[in-house]
Amino acid sequence: MLNEQLINPKSIVIIGGSNNITKPGGKIVKNIIDGGFQGILNIVNPKDNNVQGIPSFFSFHKVKSMIVDMFKFSCNFHESCSLYLIV
């Protein structure tokens, strides 16, 4: 069950997603889009209303999905860059 949820999440929240694909948050968003993710993609970015063509949220608390912290990946080099998989 855990493996299926990690491999095929229903939605993903990226905290610190960026329009700049040279930054870690931008690379993560680009890879998820280019990979053809079919679920709900939520991006949290307090500076931009839109990240790589996807509407973004000012705050993590504004994300409308029900969030279950099943898996969290945080980039060591930037504390605001996180990836949450939602089940």
Nearest-angstrom CA–CA distance, 55 and 68 = 21
Fold of 2-86: Rossmann fold (3.40.50)
pLDDT computed for residue 80 by the predictor: 52
Nearest Cα residue to 54 out of 18, 78, 4: 18
Token pair in block for residue 41: 């993609």
Token pair in block for residue 56: 């973004």
- Tens-of-pLDDT digits for all 87 residues of the chain? 567 767 788 888 888 899 999 998 999 999 999 999 999 898 989 899 999 999 998 887 777 665 554 445 544 444 455 555 554
Give this prediction's pTM: 0.70
